[in-house]
Amino acid sequence: MSEKELKMFDVDAQLDAVFGKEGTPERKAAEDRANAFFTGQIIEEARKKAKMTQEELAKKIGTNKSYISRVETGKTEPKVSTFYRIASALGMTVELTPAM
22 secondary structure, DSSP code: T
CB 36 within 8 A of CB 77: yes
- Single pTM value for the model: 0.79
Domain ranges, ordered by start, for the chain: 9-88
Is 9-88 assigned to CATH 3.40.50.2300?
no
Which pLDDT tens digit goes with each residue over 7-53? 777 888 888 899 889 999 999 999 999 999 999 999 999 999 999 99
